[in-house]
């Protein structure tokens, strides 16, 4: 018997590979995915969304197909289903025991962190620091203007040195071509610029970072000279302002994330946690089926064994304890088959002894009416010979009838005890069956013969003996249905003990065989028919066994009976 392959549409190695791939993808993309979601006005990368949305959908589809398959198993209620479902429930409960505390702890941690964050509220402090920085900038701007006007930098054409806090003074003039050139420059070279701001008549210049880092510039018109005055804000002023702005943005992101903690947690469960859970459940189902598969096979084989088929054999390459159990089971079945043959041999000897006694009894029964008829004729002949004709015909007919019955019984007994050497030929069983049922299909119009499932196989057998087997089984089936019903015949190719056999089965819709009669059905002289001799099925069994075959039946009262016959197939076919 081949192993029963009952797995999910994804094998365990494939599921483990997907699990590993999912872990790698989560590690690689989770950080960027969360960053893209948290960044304001930023949509997640389309490739990332495709990866993390399609994968859960595909796994959910596989899981749905697997659940449908499990429901089919529950409806069919195959062997070992209860154990499989119990094991699967244990696996799923274990998964839930791991996942539920993690979800609860994660949700509580996020909620506690959110409450703590809103209690600390660093956003207000950052806002105050930012406003203070702006105030400092404003103070520097006012001081800058005071220095310009107090030192007359806005009117004096020639300046010898820069006042305190003034980094540089740079005067520009236009040449004949209209281009601006530096006329004078005093101060630190760091503050030198290439061109003035065109069209600027006076006032603060727009700041251009990084050119104006830590610097405020003021433009004045002194005659035909465009003067740019640079004020020192101090080293690191703009860097500190930029750092404050960046921190403010980061805290805004954190506030946004904590404000949307519920939706983000749901999104995390949907995109990252649900595939892991589905994949783990699929792996649990696959492992459950793989573990219970040998037990299912053992249950089916045990059922077949209980039906009398000792040729069953489980094919398994497992090296674990279950493999050892299967090999032990196969050895046990082989030992049972040998013991069964030995028991059958012993029963045959006992059977022949009972048959001899039964035959003597059956022969003795017709001898009594024969003797009485002969004595009656003799008595009339002696007493009144002229009236012997009154009883002669009746007595002779009675004697002839009893002798014919004895002859028939002895002929069947001879067939049963010494069937003779079979003349083996290659016989097409399909053609033989079609030939045999022709007279019966015409003689019993209310019996439907179904032969659609006949395989054209060749068996190595005595054709006459095989015809006797088939004829006897067909007649028994017709009698069991009382001439009305359906007889279904089929043939299948099977392997028994590494040899090919043809399995012929004939099923009738008759009254079935009672449980009290099942053990005696192949015993000679046992019959449930009023006119039967009780030797038909024993002769069939003897013919089948003489050809190296086996016969058994499956019957249910009120439903019908199926006889199975395994005969060696022609090896040259």
Give the number of other CB atoms < 10 A from CB of residue 495: 13
Kindly state the average pLDDT of the residues 20-49.
62
Does the pLDDT value for residue 326 go beyond 50? yes
Is the peptide bond between 427 and the residue preceding it cis, with omega within 30 degrees of 0? no
> Please, are residues 525 and 534 in contact by the beta-carbon 8 Å criterion?
yes
Gap between the Cα atoms of 422 and 484, Å rounded: 35
Contact present, 539 and 472 (Cβ < 8 Å): yes
Specify burial of residue 81 (Cβ count, 10 A radius: 0-12, 13-18, 19+).
middle
**pLDDT confidence of residue 151:** 84
Eight-state DSSP code of residue 422: -
Residue-wise pLDDT for 365-412, tens only, equals 667 677 778 888 888 888 888 888 888 888 788 788 777 767 766 766
pLDDT score recorded for residue 4: 44
Percent of the chain past pLDDT 90, that is, above it, reads 3
The whole-angstrom separation of Cα 573 and Cα 183 is 115
Q: Ranked by mean pLDDT, which of 36-45, 334-343, 548-557 comes out on top?
A: 548-557
Q: Maximum CA pair distance of the chain?
A: 187
What is the per-residue pLDDT for 506? 92
Q: Which one-letter DSSP state was computed for residue 214?
A: T
pTM of the full structure: 0.39
- 141 exposed, middle or buried (CB, 10 Å; 0-12, 13-18, 19+)? middle
Alpha-helical regions (H) of 384-458: 389-417, 429-443
The number of helices, as runs of H, and strands, as runs of E, in the chain is 12, 12
Query: CA 155 to CA 230: how far, in whole Å?
Result: 16
What pLDDT is recorded for position 80?
A: 61
565 — pLDDT class (breaks 50, 70, 90): very high
Each residue's pLDDT tens digit, 499-509: 888 888 999 99
Instruction: For 59-117, write each residue's pLDDT tens digit.
Output: 777 778 777 877 777 776 665 667 777 878 888 888 888 888 888 887 787 777 777 76
In the numeric block, which tokens belong to residue 110?
A: 């996020």
Q: Compute and round to an integer the Cα radius of gyration of the chain.
A: 53
For residues 106 and 128, what is the distance between their CA atoms, to the nearest angstrom? 33
The pLDDT assigned to 336 comes to 77
């Amino acid at each position: 018997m081949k192993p029963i392959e009952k797995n999910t549409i994804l094998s365990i190695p494939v599921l483990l590979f997907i699990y590993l791939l999912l872990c790698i993808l989560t590690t690689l993309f989770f950080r960027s995915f969360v960053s893209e979601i948290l960044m304001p006005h930023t949509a997640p990368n389309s490739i990332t969304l495709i990866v993390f949305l399609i994968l859960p959908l595909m796994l959910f589809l596989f899981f749905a197909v697997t659940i449908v398959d499990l429901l089919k198993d529950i409806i069919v209620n195959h062997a070992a289903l209860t154990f499989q479902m119990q094991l699967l429930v244990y696996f799923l409960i274990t998964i839930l025991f791991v996942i539920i505390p993690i979800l609860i702890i994660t949700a509580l941690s996020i909620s506690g962190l959110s409450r703590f964050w809103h209690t600390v509220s660093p956003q207000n402090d950052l806002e105050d620091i930012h406003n203070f920085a702006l105030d400092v900038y404003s103070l520097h701007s006012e001081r800058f203007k005071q220095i310009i006007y107090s030192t007359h930098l806005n009117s004096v054409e020639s300046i010898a040195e820069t006042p305190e806090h003034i980094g540089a003074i740079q005067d520009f003039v236009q040449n004949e071509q209209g281009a601006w050139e530096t006329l004078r420059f005093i101060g630190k070279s760091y503050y030198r610029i290439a061109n003035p701001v065109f069209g600027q008549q006076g006032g603060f210049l727009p700041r251009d970072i990084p050119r104006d880092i830590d610097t405020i510039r003021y433009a004045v018109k002194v005659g035909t000279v465009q003067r740019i005055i640079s004020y020192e804000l101090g080293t690191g002023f703009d860097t500190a302002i930029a750092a404050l702005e960046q921190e403010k943005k980061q805290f805004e992101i954190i506030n946004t994330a904590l404000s949307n903690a519920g939706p983000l947690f749901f999104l995390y469960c949907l995109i990252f946690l649900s595939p892991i859970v589905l994949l783990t459940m699929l792996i649990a189902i696959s492992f459950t089926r793989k573990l219970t598969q040998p037990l299912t096979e053992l249950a089916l084989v045990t059922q077949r064994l209980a039906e009398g088929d000792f040729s069953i054999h489980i094919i398994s390459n497992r090296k674990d304890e279950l493999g050892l159990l299967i090999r032990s089971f196969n050895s046990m079945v082989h030992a049972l088959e040998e013991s069964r043959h030995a028991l059958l041999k012993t029963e045959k000897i006992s059977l022949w002894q009972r048959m001899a006694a039964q035959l003597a009894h059956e022969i003795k029964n017709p001898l009594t009416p024969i003797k009485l008829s002969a004595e009656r004729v003799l008595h009339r002949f002696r007493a009144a010979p002229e009236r012997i004709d009154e009883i002669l015909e009746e007595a002779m007919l009675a004697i002839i009838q009893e002798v014919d019955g004895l002859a028939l019984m002895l002929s069947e007994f001879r067939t049963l005890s010494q069937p003779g050497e079979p003349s083996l030929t290659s016989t097409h069983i399909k053609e033989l069956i079609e030939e045999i049922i022709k007279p019966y299909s015409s003689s019993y119009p209310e019996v439907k013969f179904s032969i659609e499932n006949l395989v054209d196989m060749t068996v190595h057998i005595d054709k006459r003996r095989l015809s006797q087997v088939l004829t006897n089984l067909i007649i028994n089936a017709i009698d069991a249905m009382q001439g009305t019903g359906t007889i279904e015949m089929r043939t299948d190719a099977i392997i028994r003990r590494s040899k090919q056999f043809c399995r012929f089965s004939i099923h009738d819709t008759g009254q079935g065989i009672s449980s009290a009669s099942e053990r005696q059905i192949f015993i000679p002289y046992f019959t449930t028919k009023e006119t039967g001799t009780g030797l038909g099925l024993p002769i069939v069994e003897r013919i089948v066994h003489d050809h190296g075959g086996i016969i058994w039946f499956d019957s249910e009262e009120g439903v019908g009976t199926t006889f199975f016959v395994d005969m060696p197939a022609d090896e040259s076919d």
